Amino acid sequence: MGLLAVVATFTFLLLATFIIFFFILFQRRQLQNRQEKAALHAQYQQEILQSQLEIQNQTLQHISGELHDNIGQLLSVARLQLNMLEDEETATPTQIREVNDVIDKTIHELRALSKSLDGDFVKDFGLMESLSHELQRIRATSKYQTEIITEGEPYRLEGQKEIVLFRVVQEILNNTLKHAAAKNINVTLHYEPTQFTLTVQDDGKGFDIGKVMGREMTESGAGLRNIKRRTELIGGNCHLESTLGIGTKIRLQLPVVS
């Protein structure tokens, strides 16, 4: 009887020890998960801030160039035309109309720039309109043909994912303008109930993906890795296709939370 009591007591103590051990292990796992989630959340917030700063910097560079190269030239033409009218005794309706046309175009350009000055443009107007504005800016250079295509019923993405996604597409477009030697750039937004897909495609010279991704912190390689990292950070994935002499296609896919 005494032996049974000892065995029972030992079994109980062993069981209690295992329970306490697994409880402590469970608590540690929970703490580790909370810390990982907190770190991921902090990284996400940092990425949002970094994307906003990069968008603002990109916007300011664009505004500076537009003021100098486009609007400045339009105002110079308008001033030249007005000076010519001063030297004449009477102005013809055609001359007045030409001056008005230049001024109207200048006003239109200023209104387009005013949208870029809005720091919350993506947040307020959404990803589709922001990308449409970006492609219109590229098309205005007369060096590229651009098109935005929407498939499905458009909707807004949750949280601040659109800001990060917009910056990712900006980086893709900048890489295309710098390196691709393309003539046509198309952006497709495909809306599905459970998945959003964004595709950027060009008809440029293409590149060797493996060779570029294998480089150590070069600008092009780092840029592609940054695009993939940011897409993954907001819960999506990035797929690259490129063929030398044909062009490049980059597809970004994000699950949609209902």
Same domain (yes/no): 164, 232: yes
Residues 90 and 74: their CA atoms lie apart, in Å, by 23
Choosing from 60, 85, 119, the residue where a domain stops is 119
Residues 224 and 171: their CA atoms lie apart, in Å, by 9
Same domain (yes/no): 70, 173: no
Same domain (yes/no): 24, 2: yes
Same domain (yes/no): 83, 152: no
pLDDT tens track of the chain, all 258 residues?
566 776 677 677 777 787 887 778 777 777 777 776 666 666 666 666 566 656 655 565 555 555 555 666 666 666 676 767 666 666 677 777 777 777 777 777 666 666 555 556 788 888 999 899 889 888 888 889 999 999 999 999 986 889 889 889 988 998 898 889 999 999 999 999 999 999 999 999 998 887 877 665 455 556 788 888 889 888 899 999 999 999 999 999 999 976
Residues 233 and 64: their CA atoms lie apart, in Å, by 32
Same domain (yes/no): 242, 161: yes
- Residue 228 maps to which CATH number? 3.30.565.10
CA dist 120 → 57, 58, 112, 125 (Å): 13, 14, 15, 8
Q: Please give the tally of structural domains in the chain.
A: 2
The pLDDT tens digits for 213-225 are: 766 545 555 678 8
CA dist 237 → 124, 203, 251 (Å): 25, 23, 8
Same domain (yes/no): 171, 98: no
Residues 161 and 148: their CA atoms lie apart, in Å, by 19
